[in-house]
């Protein structure tokens, strides 16, 4: 389990991480989301002992990373797939890792099989690898010590659709066996499919966290009336916010109970009334981080 408590990191006047707290539990995949520069990579570097924290703590199974004996047998880490010796073969890199941590050399072939790298591909020098192959090798290196925790920063970069599906299956099976996975990615659709829990960060601060179901649950109400105009007039008179739906109904920013009473008081016959549709992860992400996005549409020249 990963526990981050009140973590902060400052570079001069710039606050990269500001009082961040969250937990990544065994048997679950935690998606770590945020715009570029939000503090994701800094947080992961602090968790893995590469960057000292300014304040707060980050522990793995109750111990700081630099205090874990032979940490690669407890924690598998992939923060940068390009940070591999370009002149060595994939198999050499894995053998060196296995010897360094005391893992049996048979683990090399097992790790290659887990990430679907063939023996022929493993015999090539890394400089001849595609980005997707480097990602697979990096994940194999993270798994070489048979760890209980995986920390992966953008592991799907460079993977084609088949590779992304493979990675999703690998991480899901790993978590289902009791492993804890902390996964940072800008591929929101993949996070939405695989993650159990979500942590959203912006400007170094947590803006939302919880289970995927909690954060993506529907809000408000969906309503349709036999007389659409009469219903719209009643909603407008009540002062609740609402907007049109393509099916002829309205999405209302109120509970179904409140909407039903508005319709009843106005004498509107309803043909549909239910809780709001669940939000898509992209919609939720953009809404929560809209004040922290670097890329904002230009309005220059717009009348």
Mean pLDDT per 10-residue interval, the chain, length 303 residues: 97 95 97 90 96 97 96 95 90 97 96 94 95 93 96 88 89 96 85 90 91 78 93 93 86 89 95 79 71 49 41
Q: Where in the chain is the domain with CATH 3.30.70?
A: 221-275
pLDDT of residue 244: 86
pLDDT of residue 242: 87
- Tell me the C-alpha distance between 260 and 172, whole Å: 41
The pTM of the full predicted model, rounded to 2 decimals, is 0.78
| Of 243, 293, 286, 237, residue with least CA distance to 263 | 237
Between the alpha carbon of residue 283 and those of residues 36, 215, 280, the distances in Å are: 17, 11, 5
The architecture (CATH level 2) of 221-275 comes to 2-Layer Sandwich (3.30)
Residue 14, CB-side half-sphere exposure with 13 Å CA sphere: 7
Q: Which CATH class is domain 2-212?
A: alpha beta
| DSSP-assigned beta bridge partners for residue 55 | 8
- Tell me the C-alpha distance between 15 and 6, whole Å: 13
Q: Where in the chain is the domain with CATH 3.40.50.300?
A: 2-212
pLDDT of residue 302: 42
pLDDT of residue 290: 65
| DSSP-assigned beta bridge partners for residue 273 | 223
- DSSP label at 12? T
pLDDT of residue 291: 59
pLDDT of residue 11: 95
């Amino acid at each position: 389990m990963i526990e981050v408590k009140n973590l902060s990191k400052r570079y001069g006047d710039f606050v990269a991480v500001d009082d961040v707290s969250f937990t990544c539990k065994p048997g679950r995949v935690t998606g770590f989301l945020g715009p570029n520069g939000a503090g994701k990579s800094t947080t992961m570097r602090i968790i893995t002992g590469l960057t000292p924290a300014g304040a707060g703590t980050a522990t793995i199974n109750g111990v700081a990373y630099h205090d874990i004996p032979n940490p690669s047998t407890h924690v598998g880490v992939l923060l940068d797939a390009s940070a591999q010796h370009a002149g060595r073969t994939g198999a050499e890199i894995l053998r060196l890792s296995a010897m360094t941590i005391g893992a049996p050399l048979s683990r090399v072939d097992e790790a290659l099989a887990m990430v679907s790298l063939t023996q022929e591909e493993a015999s090539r020098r890394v400089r001849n690898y595609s980005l997707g192959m480097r990602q697979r090798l990096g994940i194999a290196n993270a798994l070489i010590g048979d760890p209980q925790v995986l920390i992966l920063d953008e592991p799907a970069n460079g993977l084609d659709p088949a590779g992304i599906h493979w990675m999703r299956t690998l991480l899901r099976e790993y978590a289902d066996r009791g492993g804890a996975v902390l996964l940072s990615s800008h591929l929101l659709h993949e996070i939405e499919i695989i993650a159990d829990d979500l942590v959203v960060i912006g400007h170094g601060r947590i803006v939302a966290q919880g289970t995927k179901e909690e954060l993506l649950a529907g809000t408000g109400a969906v309503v349709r009336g036999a007389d659409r105009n009469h219903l719209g007039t009643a909603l407008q008179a009540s002062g609740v916010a609402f907007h049109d739906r393509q099916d002829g109904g309205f999405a209302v920013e109120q509970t179904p109970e409140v909407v039903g009473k508005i319709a009843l008081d106005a004498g509107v016959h309803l043909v549909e009334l239910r809780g709001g549709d669940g939000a898509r992860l992209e919609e939720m992400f953009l809404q929560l981080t809209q004040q922290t996005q670097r890329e904002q549409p230009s309005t220059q020249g717009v009348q």
